[in-house]
Chain A
Amino acid sequence: MKVKLWGTRGSIPSPGPETIRYGGNTSCVGVTLSDGSLLALDAGTGIRSLGLAIAAEPARLHILLTHLHLDHIQGLAFFAPAFRAQTEIVIWGPASPEASLRDRIARYISAPLSPVEVRELPCDVSFRHCPEAEWEIGPARIRAASVSHRGPTLGYRIDDGDSSLAYIPDHEPALGADLDTLEEDWISGLALARDASLLIHDGQYTDAEYPDHIGWGHSSLSHAISFARRSSARRTVLFHHDPMHSDAQLDLLAGEAQERWEELGSDPAEIELAVERTEYELPARAAAAAS
């Protein structure tokens, strides 16, 4: 399984010279399965670059949405494969008692917010609510679970052979909970992340910023570290950077994350901050290696 980060920023695109290294595009991760099948995790503005990077093939691809906040769907209307008649796109996402996934996405891909409507997309697009049970896409087993964020939100786990990716980009598992002492089955998202080859997890706030953002649905550095430790994931990538954080600030945050990881007795190379366009190849049952 190969993983590439196309958008690492949270909340709102943040282009500019101060964010050029970590990136300014919002959430999107491309996943190439062992049989070549392509998945996109979320469709923030990063998916525009993903769409430009893939050729006319594959004819079929899947987009797995964690939730429908704008920073996770904003790139959909600018995803080049959606404008190819020969492409089949399956969009998966959380169910809601309020409206279907298609109708909720159509609120964005419709006038006056968009120049095109969902029904006008040339591709063959379908919308599916994620099932409670595990399902398969190509050689991969996919699991989705509701996680602690604002509104219906999912985290995903993708198992392909012996390698596994856990993707929980918007997550506040510590809301009202002590991650260091709570039983494992009571921690939001932990079952998805357990022993993953690679965990991509929310790390939006510093510890000092978090008290002013309690309940906003995101993690502090300490919470992300606690969650990662309890998951026993082999490698952790902190994701969904705050739009106010410059490259220089994220460098410092990365340094602190690695220092604290080492203090817990682990290899500091096992934790890092997400950098746009970074690729990972997940070997079976071994530490992932960034290219």
Chain B
Amino acid sequence: MINLTQSEGSGFEGNRLVSPARSAAPAWLWQSQLSKVTTVTQRPLELILARNLMSALSTPAFLVDEGGVLVFYNEAAGMLLGKRFEELGAVGPDEWGSLFGPFDQSGEPIPYDELPLVVAVRNGRPAHADFEISSADGTRHRVEASAFPILTAHGSQGAIAVFWPATSNNGTPS
């Protein structure tokens, strides 16, 4: 006989199984009854693990696939941009540049080819830059961005960029 308790997990106490309290059926259960997915392909595992890690970070972080499509950014990045990833979804390289900039110190848009994420994906090399981005409400944020490629046994699968508040020469946030 299974003993239901208020414990958060289920485990054995001797030969007695302790079970968790049950939650309501998750959203995908009823959603799956509305639209059945017939074909699923898996993202490269390295991107899956990168997304999982980024989801746990408090530093704004962005993930692009090998084609330069922005496939994920975390909650911290969403706060910076003023728009959650779940609201925006994946966007191609032409779109995300126009959505958020970035801009150089004179306010001019930075060419797409010079963005750290693009350099990292295309060249398979790390890249770093200092620029401004525009959030959804028009606020400009000066950031430093470090991007590095995700290289696997099957070649480059994408890149990660991490943003930091730009610092002045004396090391304080500018």
Do B2 and A252 have beta carbons less than 8 Å apart?
yes
Query: Which residues of chain A come closer than 8 Å to B43, judged between CB atoms?
Result: 185-186
Known: A191-B40, A191-B42, A209-B11. A186 touches B19 (CB 8 A): no
Do A176 and B17 have beta carbons less than 8 Å apart?
no
Do B12 and A207 have beta carbons less than 8 Å apart?
no
In the assembled complex, A211 has its CB within 8 A of some CB on chain B: yes
Smallest beta-carbon distance B50→chain A, Å: 10
Do A252 and B49 have beta carbons less than 8 Å apart?
no
Interface set, chain B 8-66, CB cutoff 8 A to A: 8-12, 15-20, 22, 25-29, 32, 37, 40-46, 48-49, 51-53, 55-56
Among A97, A176, A191, A221: residue with most chain B CB under 10 A: A176
In the assembled complex, B153 has its CB within 8 A of some CB on chain A: yes
Do A95 and B153 have beta carbons less than 8 Å apart?
yes
Query: Which residues of chain A come closer than 8 Å to B37, judged between CB atoms?
Result: 184, 194
In the assembled complex, A206 has its CB within 8 A of some CB on chain B: yes
Identify the closest chain B residue to A97 (Cβ).
B153
Known: A181-B28, A184-B37, A264-B25. A211 touches B42 (CB 8 A): no
Identify the closest chain A residue to B12 (Cβ).
A249
Among B9, B40, B52, B56: residue with most chain A CB under 10 A: B40
Do B25 and A190 have beta carbons less than 8 Å apart?
no
Count A-B pairs with CB separation below 8 Å: 109
Measured CA separation A181–B8 after assembly (Å) = 20
Identify the closest chain A residue to B10 (Cβ).
A207
Query: Which residues of chain B come closer than 8 Å to A279, judged between CB atoms?
Result: none
In the assembled complex, A69 has its CB within 8 A of some CB on chain B: no
Query: Which residues of chain A come closer than 8 Å to B6, judged between CB atoms?
Result: none
Do A176 and B55 have beta carbons less than 8 Å apart?
yes
Smallest beta-carbon distance A115→chain B, Å: 33
Q: Which of A148, A190, A208 contacts B9 (CB 8 A)?
A: A208
Q: Which of B29, B40, B44, B46 contacts A190 (CB 8 A)?
A: B40
Measured CA separation A207–B12 after assembly (Å) = 10
Query: Which residues of chain B come closer than 8 Å to A255, judged between CB atoms?
Result: 2, 17
Known: A210-B9, A256-B17. A194 touches B40 (CB 8 A): yes
Do B51 and A221 have beta carbons less than 8 Å apart?
no
Do A186 and B51 have beta carbons less than 8 Å apart?
yes
Q: Give 8 new A-B contacts, CB below 8 A, not counting A177-B55, A252-B17.
A: A148-B45, A190-B40, A206-B17, A222-B20, A232-B32, A249-B15, A253-B17, A259-B2
Question: Taking beta carbons and an 8 Å cutoff, which residues of B are in contact with A?
Answer: 2, 7-12, 15-20, 22, 25-29, 32, 37, 40-46, 48-49, 51-53, 55-56, 153-154
Q: What are 6 A-B pairs at a CB distance below 8 A? A: A146-B44, A186-B48, A194-B37, A208-B7, A221-B10, A259-B2
